[in-house]
A and B are shown apart, each in its own frame.
Chain A
């Protein structure tokens, strides 16, 4: 659906996006994650042909350049703040871009905005504006939707609503590229994760693969931690420590059990280490930083 091939973006002399490539397949929900200023919004703007760049961006096999947006006819986007004209009503804001009125009504209904859609947008709350921005992105049954921090300012109910809506659209083949700093929000919907830091693409993986790479650690508790630590260190099988636990690699767990048994140490606990998603991302970012230092 969308192919981003080796793009570079410069802001003056500053190199802000460095050789980034990835793809979004039909129906995929790609989460784009990274610290503030990493270049998430810049990548999104580049795909929309709003910036000068080198490399290639194509949507449905048609190229997007800064001066040709024809490939974007079936693309919807919400970038930074929702682009809303305060002197128009919500409905008029939608009307501005709608191709058929039915799709507009559907979107309004799907986002439950009927109550205020006919009043002027200048009186909208932050959440209402955000929903209107999302509605504008979902107009005209797009093939591909870009959402920059879509959950900004939404209450819990709306967040759940939007999440369901994204899944609903994805099931019908719409692809999504979504950025967020609330990882748990994306965790529930994304099918692929792209991690960006300082303009570099660090990780681009299917979400299940991503969870697996970091599941290969086990935590170990014995009746004699000191002795076990010494033993494991001698064999080079100790990865690190966390609180009272020793952390070891999955591939070694059988030899470790044998080793402990031989030394008459009793096993109290041996289990896969549970870490939350946020930690995974932080760890990926840190790992990359360490590698850079070396």
Chain B
């Protein structure tokens, strides 16, 4: 296991795209700071400069090729026979991406602290009570925590789809559509009309993409029709389900 992990880290850290993605996050954070810095400084800090979505974008770009790259150049054959079993291959890739995800979140915290010291945004007190009757500082950490759940959920989808589809481009497109349009599709198509089935349809996986947003914007609850606790539990369960499905597909796959 440790050698599988070591190899995955080695490969991840040597790919340019792993270093390019954080730059993208940084750029988007700056852009958000430029546009909202004077109007909603507290919200910006709580959400780490609205980095949730761009982190998902970064994860899609980096994680979707972690499988397809090896499927394409057949390196997967080498990886598989050198590893005790397929589970370890799948699991070490998952751990590596999960740690990458945590690292991205840590970077956004660091960048948020640095940017808050610059004139880019108005001065705010970190200890003053903001949302959920908690200090801004706690708000920020809680948002990161919640966003880790949301992004792990997205990772499980990315893994499942990349094991299903070999084409890198299609994997990226499908995931981007889920991230950027999932919430919209869920609301617009399934929940908006308040029909009899909403009670069941509100549990559809697309609805879970809203988790982070609902935490910092309570008004979302009327769209998702779920409480934050319900969202967390459902997201968690879907994550496990998709990971199992992804692994099952990976196991069955021929190389």
Q: How many contacts between A and B, using CB within 8 angstroms?
A: 69
A-chain residues with CB within 8 Å of residue B81 when the two chains form the complex? 48-50, 69, 72, 75, 77
**Residue in contact with A86 in the complex, picked from B7, B73, B79, B251, CB distance below 8 Å:** B73
CA distance A67 to B16 in the complex (A): 32
A-chain residues with CB within 8 Å of residue B75 when the two chains form the complex? 83-85
The winner among A69, A87, A97 for most chain B CB atoms within 10 A is A69
- Chain B CB within 8 A of A294 CB: no
| Interface size, B (range) | 20 to 34
Given A83-B73, A86-B73, verify A69-B83 contact (CB < 8 Å).
yes
Given A85-B11, A88-B11, verify A50-B78 contact (CB < 8 Å).
no
A-chain residues with CB within 8 Å of residue B15 when the two chains form the complex? 87
**Interface residues contributed by chain A, number (CB under 8 Å):** 28
**Residue in contact with A88 in the complex, picked from B14, B76, B83, B86, CB distance below 8 Å:** B14
A-chain residues with CB within 8 Å of residue B78 when the two chains form the complex? 77, 79, 83, 97, 136
Which residue from chain A places its CB closest to the CB of B82 in the assembled complex? A97
B-chain residues with CB within 8 Å of residue A92 when the two chains form the complex? 10, 14
- Chain A CB within 8 A of B111 CB: no
- Chain A CB within 8 A of B189 CB: no
CA distance A57 to B7 in the complex (A): 27
B-chain residues with CB within 8 Å of residue A49 when the two chains form the complex? 80-81
By the criterion CB–CB under 8 Å, are B77 and A83 in contact?
Answer: yes
- Chain B CB within 8 A of A156 CB: no
- Chain A CB within 8 A of B85 CB: yes
- Chain A CB within 8 A of B254 CB: yes
- Chain A CB within 8 A of B84 CB: yes
- Chain B CB within 8 A of A51 CB: yes
What are the interface flags for A60-99 relative to B under an 8 Å C-beta threshold, 1 for contact and 0 otherwise? 0000001111101001010111011111100010011100
In the assembled complex, how far is the CB of residue A249 from the closest CB belonging to chain B, in whole angstroms? 47
- Chain B CB within 8 A of A3 CB: no
Which residue from chain A places its CB closest to the CB of B11 in the assembled complex? A85
- Chain A CB within 8 A of B132 CB: no
What are the interface flags for B75-104 relative to A under an 8 Å C-beta threshold, 1 for contact and 0 otherwise? 111111111111100000000000000000
Q: Which positions in A face B, CB cutoff 8 Å?
A: 11, 45, 48-51, 66-70, 72, 75, 77, 79-81, 83-88, 92, 95-97, 136
9 contacts between A and B (CB under 8 A): A48-B81, A51-B254, A67-B86, A69-B81, A72-B81, A83-B75, A83-B77, A88-B11, A97-B78
In the A-B complex, list the 8 residue pairs whose CB atoms are closest, starting with the nearest: A83-B75, A83-B78, A48-B81, A67-B85, A70-B84, A79-B77, A96-B7, A69-B84
